[in-house]
Amino acid sequence: MKLIVGLGNVGAQYHSTRHNLGFVVVEMLGISFGHQPGDFKKHSKAPALVLDLRSVQDCQLVKPTTMMNLSGEAVQALVRFYKIEPADVWVVHDDVDLPFGQIRTRLGGGSAGHNGIKSIIAAIGDGFWRMRLGIANPQLPITPTDQFVLDPFAPDEAERVPKLLELATNQLEAALLAGGQLTDHTTKLRE
């Protein structure tokens, strides 16, 4: 079984921010399998909302209900509860080290300063998959990072965000349909 974890912050004020891309991708993945965001349910053993797709795709979609910086609490509780290996955890998150529109998927690696990823590494180690969605733009060097990730997208980016989300969702869906295997690769949103 795979745990596909989208990182984000709970609350309407965070919904359309850069930091919540992970939440939206797992919601869209649920939609692609016939479910709605309202179908995520509170897990009894972890601080998370979960959509159980084990009967159709041998996976669970997860949105931690902790704040981003404590995401590891939810992931660790679920890994222990389901007795799965870190390599069966796929984490989808924003990344300020990649240009807007780039998606980088790989197993392991550091946190690159992402506090949600730091929390997960501290909780279960480094051996999980990351799908990093690039959000960097020319405003990043002149904006404090903690503010930048909680800002909404610039108007020109906002027009392209749906395509970025669709590309990420399609890659995850294809990996699930291919037997639950991600590959180390980089893709870029076409202009």
Q: Which residues are catalytic?
A: 19
Other CB atoms closer than 10 Å to residue 156's CB: what's the count?
Answer: 9
Answer yes or no: are the C-beta atoms of 58 and 107 closer than 8 Å: no
What does the CA dihedral 7, 41, 37, 149 come to, rounded to 10 degrees?
A: -20
Residue 68: name the closest of 36, 92, 43 by CA: 92
Other CB atoms closer than 10 Å to residue 79's CB: what's the count?
Answer: 22
Residue 93: name the closest of 177, 173, 147, 26 by CA: 26
C-alpha to C-alpha distance for 140 and 52, rounded to whole angstroms: 37
Q: Write down the residue that tokens 């997208």 correspond to.
A: 153
Other CB atoms closer than 10 Å to residue 116's CB: what's the count?
Answer: 26
Angle at 50 between CA 149 and CA 188, to 5 degrees: 45
Handedness of CA 62, 181, 31, 14 (dihedral sign): positive
